[in-house]
């Protein structure tokens, strides 16, 4: 898909407003700082016009910047693809297997979910990403994942430039006592630097190095998480649905063999569903290629079962640890810290003994509603958000009275 076409086809300028958000502002600022400092330090460290190595280094640096911005803006402006307002399946009998969205005044197609931020039903929704201020879904999943790959690669290259620039400029000025460390810098000493490497330049380079290394680690981890679900042809939401399906089967001992319908049995086939040479993923976002033992509505039927299951058996969680509501709690473990959900949705503080009804989650975090007092319910209060999985433990309530009470608290 042509990058420029995303701007040409704008019917109005409302999409450009996505840039006016803290997520894109921070992301583009990091890209601008790292790219600018890398270009300036390349001129100081490895002049591109005098050596072949310098020219290759400079061209690669510019290439990373262009590719990163290309995929970033496509992920933001192409968007995930939305279910048409008022959509209905051609076969009216299929409506019994689909959920109805009151906001969009239409049925949710298979794999679609309603996003509260975008206020639309999103095709194959994975999550709403604040860094692109848009959802990650069917149409932009490849662009988003490519951005997650290219950003760490570009930042790693920039970090090498920052380190070598500081080393070469400080090599003769400061004695570190590294008598055994010898680096041949004859190639980079064939010219006098066009710009002096002053104290402010050193501070700016050090700051940019911190940004580059932090981005490499954080975004790199997100890339591996995305590739994990892509190779299984899942989304993060569908992973949670599958987990609840296995929990339901285990609780009732139904003997069912739940098969995830969109896993084609081969990582390569799953990969090609998202990444294509044309840039447009396979499928129209309404119908999907499914496992031979499944059909188009296998997962939506499972969702309806889980929705009905809430009315007869409420699976609740009880807090076993206090949690202060921090976005990245260091005290809850490194995995919890680094794998915090990349979303604007709030975190809910917990106190030991609190009851929460979880609706979705990941391996390290869960999302749900906190049980409130009768006075808070009558006042219309609602506490919903993310919390660390390690802070809670599962508890089952099988009585109708407990279920009725919990449903009132959630609804």
- pLDDT digits over 61-73, tens only? 999 999 999 999 9
Do 335 and 251 fall within a single domain?
no
Residue 52 placed within a domain: yes
Q: What is the pLDDT of residue 173?
A: 59
**Is residue 292 over pLDDT 60?**
yes
Q: What is the pLDDT of residue 172?
A: 57
- Average pLDDT along the chain: 83
pLDDT-derived band at 377 (thresholds 50, 70, 90) equals low
Top pLDDT among 373 and 310 is at: 373
Top pLDDT among 338 and 123 is at: 123
Residue 4 placed within a domain: no
Q: 280, 309, 338 — which closes off a domain?
A: 309
Q: Which residues contact 60 (CB under 8 A, 6 or more apart)?
A: 157
CATH number of the domain enclosing 318: 2.30.30.40
pLDDT-derived band at 187 (thresholds 50, 70, 90) equals very low
Do 146 and 50 fall within a single domain?
yes
CA angle 165, 168, 171 (to 5 degrees): 140
Residue 253 placed within a domain: yes
Top pLDDT among 183 and 41 is at: 41
Q: What is the pLDDT of residue 5?
A: 47
Secondary structure (H, E, C), 100-130: EECCCCEECCCCCEEECCCCEEECCCCEEEC
pLDDT-derived band at 7 (thresholds 50, 70, 90) equals very low
Do 267 and 369 fall within a single domain?
no
Whole-number Å distance between alpha carbons of 67 and 280: 17
Residue 294 placed within a domain: yes
Residue 185 placed within a domain: no
Mean pLDDT, range 121-125, rounded to an integer: 95
Do 213 and 360 fall within a single domain?
no
Do 170 and 250 fall within a single domain?
no
Do 342 and 225 fall within a single domain?
no
Total tally of structural domains belonging to the chain? 4
**Is residue 211 over pLDDT 90?**
yes
Choose from 188-192, 218-222, 326-330 the range with maximum mean pLDDT: 218-222
- Catalytic residue check, 136: no
Phi and psi, residue 196, nearest 5°: -75, 145
**Is residue 403 over pLDDT 70?**
no
Q: What is the pLDDT of residue 399?
A: 39
Top pLDDT among 172 and 211 is at: 211
**Is residue 159 over pLDDT 50?**
yes
Top pLDDT among 192 and 95 is at: 95
Mean pLDDT, range 211-232, rounded to an integer: 94
**Is residue 246 over pLDDT 80?**
yes
Whole-number Å distance between alpha carbons of 259 and 82: 27
Do 338 and 208 fall within a single domain?
no
Q: pTM above 0.85?
A: no
Do 116 and 54 fall within a single domain?
no
Residue 104: name the closest of 116, 90, 93, 92 by CA: 116
Q: What is the pLDDT of residue 49?
A: 78
Q: What is the pLDDT of residue 174?
A: 59
pLDDT tens for each residue of 135-153: 999 999 999 999 999 999 9
Q: 281, 309, 337 — which closes off a domain?
A: 309
Do 228 and 240 fall within a single domain?
no
Q: Give the C-alpha distances (Å, rounded to integers) separating 87 from 79, 109, 219, 301.
A: 19, 8, 36, 18
CA angle 118, 120, 123 (to 5 degrees): 105
pLDDT-derived band at 13 (thresholds 50, 70, 90) equals low
**Is residue 244 over pLDDT 90?**
no
Please state which of the ranges 105-119, 186-200, 387-401 shows the lowest mean pLDDT. 186-200
Q: What is the pLDDT of residue 37?
A: 94
Top pLDDT among 190 and 165 is at: 165
pLDDT-derived band at 330 (thresholds 50, 70, 90) equals confident
Residue 276 placed within a domain: yes
Q: What is the pLDDT of residue 378?
A: 67
Residue 343: name the closest of 317, 370, 369, 367 by CA: 367
Catalytic residue among 129, 135, 136, 155: 129
Mean pLDDT, range 377-402, rounded to an integer: 72
- Percent of the chain whose pLDDT exceeds 90: 50
Q: What is the pLDDT of residue 194?
A: 56
Residue 409 placed within a domain: no
- Domain membership of residue 292 as a residue range: 236-309
Residue 130 placed within a domain: no
Do 210 and 280 fall within a single domain?
no
Do 46 and 155 fall within a single domain?
yes
**Is residue 11 over pLDDT 50?**
no
Mean pLDDT, range 24-39, rounded to an integer: 95
Do 28 and 166 fall within a single domain?
yes
């Amino acid at each position: 898909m042509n990058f420029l076409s995303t701007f040409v086809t704008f019917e109005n300028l409302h999409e450009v407003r996505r840039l006016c958000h803290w997520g894109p502002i921070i992301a583009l600022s990091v890209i601008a700082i790292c790219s600018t400092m890398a270009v300036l330090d390349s001129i100081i460290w490895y002049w591109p016009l005098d050596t072949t190595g310098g020219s290759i280094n400079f061209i690669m640096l510019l290439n990373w910047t262009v590719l990163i911005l290309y995929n970033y803006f496509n992920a933001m402006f192409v968007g995930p693809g939305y279910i048409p307002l008022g959509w209905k399946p051609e076969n009216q009998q299929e409506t019994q297997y689909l959920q109805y969205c009151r906001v969009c005044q239409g049925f949710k197609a298979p794999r679609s979910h309603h996003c509260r931020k975008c206020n639309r039903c999103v095709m194959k929704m994975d999550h709403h990403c604040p860094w692109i201020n848009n959802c990650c879904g069917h149409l932009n999943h490849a662009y988003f994942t490519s951005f997650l790959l290219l950003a760490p690669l570009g930042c790693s290259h920039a970090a090498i430039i920052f380190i070598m620039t500081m080393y070469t400029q400080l090599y003769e000025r400061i004695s570190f006592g590294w008598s055994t460390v010898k680096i041949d810098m004859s190639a980079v000493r064939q010219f006098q630097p066009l710009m002096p490497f002053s104290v402010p330049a050193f501070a700016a380079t050090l700051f940019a190095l911190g940004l580059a290394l932090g981005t490499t680690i954080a975004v790199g981890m997100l890339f591996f998480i995305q590739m994990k679900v892509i190779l299984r042809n899942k989304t993060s939401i569908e992973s949670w649905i599958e987990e609840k399906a296995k929990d339901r089967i285990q609780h009732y001992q139904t003997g069912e063999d739940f098969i995830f319908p969109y896993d084609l049995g081969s990582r390569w086939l799953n990969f090609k569903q998202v990444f294509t040479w044309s840039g447009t993923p396979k499928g129209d976002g309404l119908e999907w290629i499914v496992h031979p033992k499944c059909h188009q509505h296998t997962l939506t039927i499972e969702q309806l079962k889980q929705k009905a299951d809430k009315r007869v058996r409420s699976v609740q969680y009880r807090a076993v640890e206090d949690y202060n509501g921090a976005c990245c709690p260091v005290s809850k473990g490194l995995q919890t810290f680094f794998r915090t959900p990349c979303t604007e949705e709030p975190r809910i503080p917990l106190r030991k003994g609190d009851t929460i009804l979880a609706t979705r989650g990941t391996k390290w975090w869960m999302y749900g509603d906190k049980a409130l007092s009768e006075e808070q319910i009558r006042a219309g209060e609602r506490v919903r958000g993310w919390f660390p999985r390690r802070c809670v433990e599962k508890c089952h309530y099988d009585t109708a009275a407990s279920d009725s009470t919990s449903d009132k608290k959630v609804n």
